[in-house]
Structure formats: structure tokens, C-alpha cells
Chains A and B, each alone.
Chain A
Amino acid sequence: MAIAIAVILLVIGSVLFHFLSPWYFTPLASNWDTIDLTVDITFWVTGVVFVLVNLFMAYAIIRYRHRKGLKADYEPENKKLEWWLTAITTVGVVAMLAPGLVVWAEFVTVPEDAGEFEAVAQQWQWSFRFPGDDGVMGQSAVRLMTIENPFGLDPEDENGLDDVLVFGNEVHLPVGKPMKALLRSKDVLHNFAVPQFRVKMDLVPGLVTYLWFEPTKAGRFDLLCEEYCGLAHHTMRGDVVIEEQADFDIWLAAQPTFADTLAIPVADATAGQALYAPCAACHGMQGEGNLALNAPKLSGQEGWYLRRQLNNYKNGRRGTDPADMFGAQMAAMAGTLPNAAAVNNVIAYIQTLPDLPAAATISGDVDRGESLYLTCAACHGRDAMGIWSVSAPRQAGMSDWYLATQLRNFRSGLRGTHPQDGYGEQMASMSMMLLDDAAINDVLAYINTLPVDDKPRQVAILEQ
């Protein structure tokens, strides 16, 4: 008896939950209202079955629960009833399947007037490409991918030179225009999903997959990777900004073309030496760092990382929080580098400095640090020498006290909160696994035990 009542209550509760709970689809922001319709149809059909069958079962239990003298019927089968039920079920199935297939046919057929863009996924970042003025995207290949050419575009391919490249996790799209997303992955499986657009598709290395949608609402939407792609899967975020065509055109025009990225002048280390003089005051003549002045070691750090951080400081993505005193100092100093060429030159000079391992200042439980570092190693490498393709800088042989400060800054929100600092956001998210200073020290103590290898690495971003 109790079970029948429980079933009835669960049915009522489920239906109430469906209608009353605040958790349901996000407001639709694309043309795919038909998908929502198919979901609604399915909810109605299955909902009716759910309620009817369960209530019938509960009724049967109440009515035919064992009492003295009750005897069950003997009815091996009832052909007519069974065929009727089969027929009704078939009708219900067709009612769900038919509209579903119609909408799927729409999904697989991209409208002819759709614009195109490419979303490129890699562990654990997004980047994007637009076809440029000729409307055709150039060829790409994995073997062409380098620090200078992360998209792997073929410089020989005329069609590719005017392709507009979007470095970073944010893409803009015009409202009211159907867009076909070509999906390409550099390494493992990923998935392109914006909940408000309803559609999603995996990105598969070796294939170009696609989906299409027409944004109908201006705004900023989260782009998620929804296919498990390794340790930092949950931090693989992007932004899709939907805006009016005119704003979109302005944004697109501000992005470099592939030809632009090929034309960056060779950096001049000699010119960089002069620019480095003010840096040396804190970071040391050899870039060896200075704990007393809170200036970390620079020598041996990857060029692409130095450039990104200098640009972050210059563009107000880092060192803006008043509580981050040293960051604010550095932001001011970075501002004195007048332009991109100056940044490149000073980095070129830093890369000529001798790379001597920084002295260890932090101790902790090395064994615990080692097991914690397993997670860090996914990006920073087992040798902690950094991996350019996942944008993770070197840690081994660098100033450990600085790393500790930065880990605390990431945890407390002093760093990695700026919306344009996607990598910082990732690190902030991952740093949450180090719950306290002891954990931070353990990891750094482990990193201090790692030998600094001096095998030649792809350090240079600018020496071409």
C-alpha cells in the first residue's frame, strides 16, 4: 500500500517539479526554436505515458493487494489488448520521430546564404578563423603548426593569406545571419556548444565537422567544450559575442590576417638591450630576479609567455587590482614600452641572458607535492619546463617564491579574473585544487626537485 502511495506521490512530485522548478532551458538565442518544439512534443508524449502507466500501476497495487481470500486471475495473454497497446505506442513513437527527422534534415542542410567561420579547438583553448575578403579559407595542416603559425595555415596557399585569425577565446558574430561553423581540432576530441543556441557538435582531429545556426539575440554567450578532452576540460571556455553587423565588421577589421602575422619584423636583441635597462633595476642585470624587490627571474622563461604577460599588463588585464601592489608596479613599468616592436625587442634580449636555476626558497612535503603536481603536469609538462601549445609557462628553475605569490593571487582573485585573460581564468580555476599555503608549498617543493634540462626547446616566438 505504501508503495502505491509513494508511486502516486512521486508522479505528482515529478510533474510539479517539471512545472515549478526554476531549472529549464536557457532563453533561446538562435533560430532553433524547432528543436525546442521537438523537445516539448517529446515531453508531452512521454509525460502522458509516465503519468498514466504509473498511476495505473499504483491503482492496480491498491486494488489487488493481497487480502484473505483474494485469488488472482489466470490470463496467459490477451492478443487484442497487446496489439492495441503496440499500435498506440507506435503512434506515439511516430509522433515524436517524424518531427524530429524533419528538424534534423534542416540541421544537416546548411542554408546557401550562410556565412562561414572556423572554430579551432586544442587542449584547452579556442581560436577562430574567418575566410577574409575572398570568402575562401586556406588549407591547413597539423604538420605546419608552430608557435608562429598555431593555425597550421599553408603560407603557399593564396586563399589563406587574407584569412582573418582570432587568437584567443572570444569570437564575434553578426546577429540575424545564418552562420556555418567549420570545426577543427588540433589534438583530441572537443565539442562546440553554446547552450542558448541548442546545437552542438564534436571537433575531431583529422576531420572538419560542422554545424549551423542563426543568432537571433545580441549578447555574450558562453562557449563550452562538452566532449571530455583531458584534465583541464572543464576550464575550456570561450565567448561568443553576438552583435549588429556594423559592430561585427569593426571588430573583424581589427583582427590580423594571416599575412599580417607573417609580416612581423624580426626582433632586435640589441635594441632590446637598451630597453632592458629599467627592467634590470629590479629583475637584475642577468634577469636572475630579486626576492627583496619582488621581481621574479626572467631569463629562461618562454618568449611567448613574457610577451603575453607584458601585453596583459599594458592592456589592463593584469595588475589592475589595487590589492596587487607588485602587479600595479609592473603594469606601470610595462606601460613604458611604447609598442609591439619594443616588447618583442626586449624579450629577444631577455632570451640572450644566461639561464641559471633560481635558488630554492620554499620547502614542503615533496611526496605530496609530487602527487598534486600530476594535475599541473598536464599543462606545464612533467619536467615543468612549460608547453607552448597549451600556453603553460615554465616553472622549473624559476623563482619559487614568485610562483607561490601568483598561486595565491590566482586563488584570491587578484589575477585571472579579467574576461579577456582566458589563460589566467583557466589557471585561477585550476589553482583552486591547492586548498592552502601548505599545498602550494608542497607543489613548489616538488618543482624545486626537478632537474632543469637544457635541451633545445621551441622557446622563441620572434626569431624567425
Chain B
Amino acid sequence: MAYVAIADRPDELHHPHSFITKYVWSQDHKVIAIQYSIIAILVGLIALGLSFVMRLQLAFPDTFSFIDPSIYYQSVTMHGMIMVIYLLTALFLGGFGNYLIPLQLGARDMVFPYMNMLSVWVYLLSVIVLLASFFVPGGPTGAGWTLYPPQAILPGTPGTDWGILMMLLSLAIFIVAFTMGGLNYVTTVLQARTRGMTLMRMPLSVWGIFTATILGLLAFPALFVSAVMMSFDKLLGTSFFIPAVLSMGDVLETEGGSPVLFQHLFWFFGHPEVYIVALPAFGIVSDLLSVHARKNIFGYRMMVWAIVAIGGLSFIVWAHHMYVSGMNPYFGFFFATTTLIIAVPTAIKVYNWVLTLWKGDIHLTVPMLFAIGFIFTFINGGLTGLFLGNVVVDLPLSDTYFVVAHFHLVMGVSPVLVVCGAIYHWYPNITGRMLNDGMGKVHFWMTFIGTYCIYFPMYYLGILGLPRRYYSNGVTDFIPDSVSAVNIAITVSALIVGLAQLLFVLNLITSLRFGKKAEQNPWRATTLEWRTPEYPPGHGNWGPELPGVYRWAYDYSVPGAEKDFICQDEPPTEGQGA
């Protein structure tokens, strides 16, 4: 195929004139990225607060008058939903995706800037609807983040009048917002790369975000389908998911519906969702490691293949969330096998991260600390996935704190560590200033050690048999008193971690004004986002001409080169390949 001219018409970009069009109704991907990130982080802080409601109750039962079972289960539900969807998905794809894709690929903007702008505002609307559910009669839904019917819409669960409908509505709106953004990210990656930026020259960050977006585009419809069908059940009294039941003394008119059908739909979305969060983290952390170890990412091709393989496999493992759901138990054989197969490409990624460090020139900067913290945390959380993915090993551990520890480490803490590392890494690119290093180190150590102290003991509570989703453990013969001591220790760790995040937010705000001025490309990275004519990148990103790309993103410490990095847009010098 011959080279196709890229439609590069800077004059066609939407040029903002007023404050409103520049910072509010902006069509600039960088502003949209920041808008996405700020909303996501704010709503994430709310979800962090909700986790303290749970932790305080578990550590000090019957102490706080504001925590009753309704509030507890509502906190569980909203914490989970916000963290997974409204924080992590929005932040990785809406935030990092928006910021990095055009800049790292040498594009002026997303291909559909207007739709991109709509995306962030529709996302805000979904967040507003979600938060509004705190103020409706009965409060937000307390059905657990998986929203399993029948209990999600039958009396006996908090928020079954209004809360659940607001939640379903908010999810539907979110999916619309995500689809608008997602179409942009995919099309931009496919069609708007600059000259020379072949797919295999893309930084792994973009690979991760790109694959995750495809997963999201194909998987979110499953959530949409289940949300619509559940709304029908709730509003019109249909029987998609509700069989004949005796609810609160009344035999309902429903008949024949299948709660397991909902679970299949939910997890057909829910499992890819794990990778929607994980793949961008995988990609970004690869780049952080490579830059800060001054070494090319080890096994780039294998890394790309692994991302693609994990993305593909993630669609055929969903029922491992349902081993004890009452589905046909013979499915267990298939799903245990596919699930353990997915461990292989995942393990390869881990090996390659570690091998990138090997024989590197490791600068222990704050982003690097977070990246290493990620590897450790992810190894731990990932390995325990082998327990839960193996159907029979899952039997004693399912529905216990083992699961809580596993998924928090693997898809909560690990991605958050990457998010933090990435923000320390790209903050200078966004603001032109460095984040405070000392505060960053304190933030890292409190977060890294603190989270491990929260979740590692939880594995053992789970092995002991402590069930999750319990407001209080009550009197049970097999739960020793020492468990309450563990619970207190966990809560103290959680409070410390929470404090560290406030410190991080403080750092983000104060460095805006007082941070050290950043030179362009302070980390000496090869990728294009550091090579813009204006710094920080201005509107349209590039000058009159788009950059051309001559090499892959990982030319660090190339033998014979004078510097230890060669940027992607640096033309070859004498004696180098041509």
C-alpha cells in the first residue's frame, strides 16, 4: 500500500476564542483529557470516602451511629461501581487516552473533536445522575456493585425504588459517553497516525489504551443490555430476570425469568472490564519502566501480542465469576481452562517488565518507584487469580475476603499505582511544572506499603472462611476473636493510605503554582508528546508540519549513539539504518 496523505489541515481545527470555548466547551483533546481526569478523581475521592464507611464499621462495629446496614451496603455498592467505572475506566480511557493518543501518535487532535467534547459532558451527566441517587428517597442502591437481580429490584435491599433506577440510568448514560469517546480513540489510532508511525512503532501506552477501548466498545453493550432489561423488569413488571418468587410475603406475578442470565450478561461485560482497566495500566507501566530504566522495553513484540491475546481471551473467560452461581457446573471445565490460559500472556508481561529492569540504568524516580510498586502488587494480586480462576480451588475461597483482596490488588491498587506514576511522569508535560519530589516519595511509600498491609491479611481472613459483604460477622464458632484485631489493623492502614491520597491531591494543586519549572522532556523520553514546538503542547499540538517518525518508541541506550535516547522523530544520522 502506498503512503496515504494524512488529512492535516490545522485550519480546520476548532479554534477557541473565549475562556468558555477554551476551557469549558473545549474540543481540544488535552483539555478534554483534563476535564475527564478531574471529574474522575473527584468522584473517586467520594468512593474512597465510602470505603472508610465500610472499614470503620468492620473494625469498630456498633460504634458509629451513622453506619447502619443500609448505609453500609449502599457504601459497598457505590464504592465498587464508582471505582471500577466512573474512576478507573473514565480516567484511563477518557483521561490518559485522550491526552496520550493524539500526542504520542503525532496527530493534531482526535478525529471527531466535537463528539469528543460531547463525550466528556455526557460523562459528567452520568456522574451527576449517579451522585443524585444519594438524595432520592431511600438513597442509592445497595444491591452490591454487580446489581444482581432479583434482590436489586425487590424490597429487602436498600434503594430498590429510586436508587437502582438512577444507577441503571447513569450506567446507560455513561455507556453512551464512553462509546462517543471510544469511537474517537479507535478511529484516531487507526487513521490519524503521523507519517512513519506504524502500528508496531506505537508506544505500548497507546497499544494498551487502544485494545482496552476495543474491549470497551464491544463489552459495554452487554452492560447496556442488562441495564435496559432490568429497568423493564423494574418499571414494567416483565420477567426477564425475575422468576416466580415470594417476596416479603407476596407471591409476585413474575414467572420464569432467569437471574443467571443477568449474571452471564453482566460478566460478559464485567470480565473484559477488568482488562479495560488493566490493559492501559500494562501499556503505561511498560513505558514508565522503559524511560526510567533507560532501556528499551524487553520483548516489544511479545508485549503487543500479549496485549492483543489478553484482550481476545478476556471475552471467553467471563463465567469464572460464576463458578458457584448455579450455572451448569460443566461450564466450569471450559472456563477454568480458558482462565488459566490467560495467565500465560499475563505472566509474559510480568517477566518482560522485570527483564526490562535487568541490565538497565535504573533511575529511581517517583514514577519508577510507582512502576516497581505496581509490578510487586500485580504479581501478588495476579497470582491469587490463579486460585480463583481454577474452578475447584475457587470453591472454598469464593465469596470470601480472599476475593476482595485479590481484585483490589489486581485491578484496584495496581492500576492506581500506575495512574499515580503516570501523573508524576506526565504532569510536567501537562502543566510545565514538576510535581514535588519529596511529597511524591512520601505518597508512594504510604500507598505502596499501606495497601499491601490492607489486602495481604485479607487473603488469610478469606482462607479462614470470612464471608465478604457482611455488615458484621456476628457470633460464629469458626471466626476467632483475633480477626477483629486484624480488622482494626486493616482499617488503620486504610486510613493511612487515604491520607496519602490527600497529600497527592495537595501536591497536584500546589505544584501548579509552586512546582519547579520543568524543562522540556525532563525524563529524556523518546516519545512524541515531549517533542511539541510549544511546551506544554499548545492547541493543535504541532507547528505547521506534523512530525515524521523514523523509529520505534524504545531507542534507549542504543549502542554507538551519543545520547542514551533517540527520539522517535529524530532522523537517522550517518551510519545508522536507512
Q: Touching in the complex, A and B, CB below 8 A?
A: yes
Q: What are the interface flags for A445-458 relative to B under an 8 Å C-beta threshold, 1 for contact and 0 otherwise?
A: 00000000000001
Could you tell me the distance in whole angstroms from the C-beta of B231 to the nearest C-beta in chain A? 18
In the complex, the answer to whether A200 meets B399 with C-beta atoms within 8 Å is: yes
Asked whether A57 and B392 contact (CB < 8 A) given A25-B464, A220-B477, A439-B65, the answer is: no
In the complex, the answer to whether A227 meets B399 with C-beta atoms within 8 Å is: yes
In the complex, the answer to whether B470 meets A234 with C-beta atoms within 8 Å is: yes
Bound Cα distance from A108 to B334, whole angstroms = 14
Could you tell me the distance in whole angstroms from the C-beta of A23 to the nearest C-beta in chain B? 4
Q: What are the interface flags for A306-350 relative to B under an 8 Å C-beta threshold, 1 for contact and 0 otherwise?
A: 000000000000000000000000000000000000000000000
In the complex, the answer to whether B296 meets A10 with C-beta atoms within 8 Å is: no
Could you tell me the distance in whole angstroms from the C-beta of B154 to the nearest C-beta in chain A? 6
Bound Cα distance from A42 to B391, whole angstroms = 12
In the complex, the answer to whether A188 meets B299 with C-beta atoms within 8 Å is: no
In the complex, the answer to whether A76 meets B296 with C-beta atoms within 8 Å is: yes
Could you tell me the distance in whole angstroms from the C-beta of B363 to the nearest C-beta in chain A? 5
Chain A residues near B398 (CB-CB < 8 A): 200, 226
In the complex, the answer to whether A433 meets B157 with C-beta atoms within 8 Å is: no
Bound Cα distance from A206 to B150, whole angstroms = 11
Bound Cα distance from A134 to B351, whole angstroms = 61
Could you tell me the distance in whole angstroms from the C-beta of A181 to the nearest C-beta in chain B? 12
Residue A148 is within 8 A (CB to CB) of chain B in the complex: no
Could you tell me the distance in whole angstroms from the C-beta of A458 to the nearest C-beta in chain B? 7
In the complex, the answer to whether A61 meets B362 with C-beta atoms within 8 Å is: yes
In the complex, the answer to whether A39 meets B376 with C-beta atoms within 8 Å is: no
Chain A residues near B142 (CB-CB < 8 A): 231
In the complex, the answer to whether B295 meets A73 with C-beta atoms within 8 Å is: yes
B353-409, CB < 8 A from A: 354-355, 357-364, 369, 372-373, 375-376, 379-380, 383-384, 386-387, 390-393, 395-400
Residue A96 is within 8 A (CB to CB) of chain B in the complex: yes
- The stretch that binds A, out of B95-103, B127-135, B217-225, B244-252, is B244-252
Residue B121 is within 8 A (CB to CB) of chain A in the complex: no
Counting chain B CB atoms within 10 Å of each CB, which of A34, A228, A429, A436 scores highest?
A228
Residues of B in contact with A, size category: 35 or more
Bound Cα distance from A202 to B325, whole angstroms = 5
In the complex, the answer to whether A61 meets B357 with C-beta atoms within 8 Å is: yes
Chain B residues near A143 (CB-CB < 8 A): 244, 251
In the complex, the answer to whether B393 meets A202 with C-beta atoms within 8 Å is: no
Residue A14 is within 8 A (CB to CB) of chain B in the complex: yes
A91-126, CB < 8 A from B: 93, 96-97, 100-101, 103-105, 107-108, 122-123
Chain B residues near A374 (CB-CB < 8 A): 68, 70, 138-139, 158
Choice from A205, A222, A226, A387 contacting B400 with Cβ under 8 Å: A226
Residue B478 is within 8 A (CB to CB) of chain A in the complex: yes
Which residue of the partner chain A has the closest CB to B361? A72
Bound Cα distance from A295 to B340, whole angstroms = 64
Could you tell me the distance in whole angstroms from the C-beta of A438 to the nearest C-beta in chain B? 9
Choice from B65, B259, B477 contacting A435 with Cβ under 8 Å: B65
Choice from B296, B341, B347, B361 contacting A71 with Cβ under 8 Å: B361
Bound Cα distance from A196 to B463, whole angstroms = 11
In the complex, the answer to whether B476 meets A222 with C-beta atoms within 8 Å is: yes
In the complex, the answer to whether B564 meets A97 with C-beta atoms within 8 Å is: no
Residue A427 is within 8 A (CB to CB) of chain B in the complex: no
Residue A271 is within 8 A (CB to CB) of chain B in the complex: no
Bound Cα distance from A374 to B397, whole angstroms = 32
Asked whether A23 and B395 contact (CB < 8 A) given A142-B246, A430-B69, the answer is: no
Asked whether A86 and B348 contact (CB < 8 A) given A26-B464, A72-B557, A374-B70, the answer is: yes
Choice from A42, A54, A232 contacting B387 with Cβ under 8 Å: A42
Could you tell me the distance in whole angstroms from the C-beta of B101 to the nearest C-beta in chain A? 24
In the complex, the answer to whether B62 meets A188 with C-beta atoms within 8 Å is: no
In the complex, the answer to whether B246 meets A432 with C-beta atoms within 8 Å is: no
In the complex, the answer to whether B251 meets A26 with C-beta atoms within 8 Å is: no
Asked whether A104 and B456 contact (CB < 8 A) given A23-B482, A123-B156, the answer is: no
Could you tell me the distance in whole angstroms from the C-beta of A22 to the nearest C-beta in chain B? 6
Residue A269 is within 8 A (CB to CB) of chain B in the complex: no
B413-466, CB < 8 A from A: 448-449, 452, 456-457, 460-461, 463-465
In the complex, the answer to whether A389 meets B248 with C-beta atoms within 8 Å is: yes
Which residue of the partner chain B has the closest CB to A435? B65
Bound Cα distance from A353 to B55, whole angstroms = 49
Chain B residues near A3 (CB-CB < 8 A): 364, 369, 372-373
Chain A residues near B492 (CB-CB < 8 A): none
Which residue of the partner chain A has the closest CB to B156? A230
Could you tell me the distance in whole angstroms from the C-beta of B186 to the nearest C-beta in chain A? 27
In the complex, the answer to whether A42 meets B296 with C-beta atoms within 8 Å is: no
Chain B residues near A195 (CB-CB < 8 A): 396, 464-465, 478
Q: What are the interface flags for A175-201 relative to B under an 8 Å C-beta threshold, 1 for contact and 0 otherwise?
A: 000000001001111010101101111
Residue A275 is within 8 A (CB to CB) of chain B in the complex: no
Bound Cα distance from A227 to B558, whole angstroms = 56
Residue A159 is within 8 A (CB to CB) of chain B in the complex: no
Could you tell me the distance in whole angstroms from the C-beta of A300 to the nearest C-beta in chain B? 17
In the complex, the answer to whether A222 meets B244 with C-beta atoms within 8 Å is: no
Chain A residues near B344 (CB-CB < 8 A): 86, 89-90, 93
Residue B301 is within 8 A (CB to CB) of chain A in the complex: yes
Chain A residues near B383 (CB-CB < 8 A): 46, 49-50
B451-501, CB < 8 A from A: 452, 456-457, 460-461, 463-465, 467-478, 480, 482-483, 486
Residue B260 is within 8 A (CB to CB) of chain A in the complex: yes
- The stretch that binds B, out of A77-85, A260-268, A393-401, is A77-85
Residue B3 is within 8 A (CB to CB) of chain A in the complex: no
Chain B residues near A418 (CB-CB < 8 A): none
Could you tell me the distance in whole angstroms from the C-beta of A7 to the nearest C-beta in chain B? 6
In the complex, the answer to whether B372 meets A89 with C-beta atoms within 8 Å is: no
Asked whether A229 and B395 contact (CB < 8 A) given A75-B298, A372-B68, the answer is: no
- The stretch that binds B, out of A62-70, A277-285, A354-362, is A62-70
Counting chain A CB atoms within 10 Å of each CB, which of B326, B375, B383 scores highest?
B326
Residue A216 is within 8 A (CB to CB) of chain B in the complex: no
Residue B535 is within 8 A (CB to CB) of chain A in the complex: no
Q: What are the interface flags for A3-29 relative to B under an 8 Å C-beta threshold, 1 for contact and 0 otherwise?
A: 100110010001001100111111000
Choice from A39, A188, A429 contacting B472 with Cβ under 8 Å: A429
In the complex, the answer to whether A42 meets B393 with C-beta atoms within 8 Å is: yes
Which residue of the partner chain A has the closest CB to B482? A22
Bound Cα distance from A6 to B373, whole angstroms = 10
Residue B336 is within 8 A (CB to CB) of chain A in the complex: yes
Bound Cα distance from A200 to B474, whole angstroms = 20
Residue B88 is within 8 A (CB to CB) of chain A in the complex: no
By a beta-carbon cutoff of 8 Å, the part of chain A in contact with chain B is: 1, 3, 6-7, 10, 14, 17-18, 21-26, 34-35, 38-39, 42, 45-46, 49-50, 53-54, 56-57, 60-61, 64-66, 70-78, 81-82, 85-86, 89-90, 93, 96-97, 100-101, 103-105, 107-108, 122-123, 141-143, 145, 152, 183, 186-189, 191, 193, 195-196, 198-207, 209, 220-222, 224, 226-235, 237, 372, 374-375, 378-379, 381, 387-390, 425, 429-430, 432-433, 435-436, 439, 458
A-B contact pairs, 23 of them (CB 8 A): A6-B449, A7-B376, A25-B465, A38-B390, A42-B387, A49-B347, A56-B354, A60-B362, A72-B293, A75-B295, A82-B299, A93-B386, A104-B329, A123-B156, A141-B244, A193-B465, A201-B324, A205-B150, A226-B467, A228-B151, A234-B472, A387-B249, A433-B69
Q: A61-B362, A228-B73 known; 20 other A-B pairs, CB under 8 Å?
A: A21-B460, A23-B482, A26-B465, A35-B396, A45-B386, A60-B357, A64-B293, A64-B357, A66-B361, A78-B355, A89-B348, A96-B340, A108-B330, A142-B243, A186-B245, A204-B259, A232-B69, A374-B70, A390-B156, A433-B69
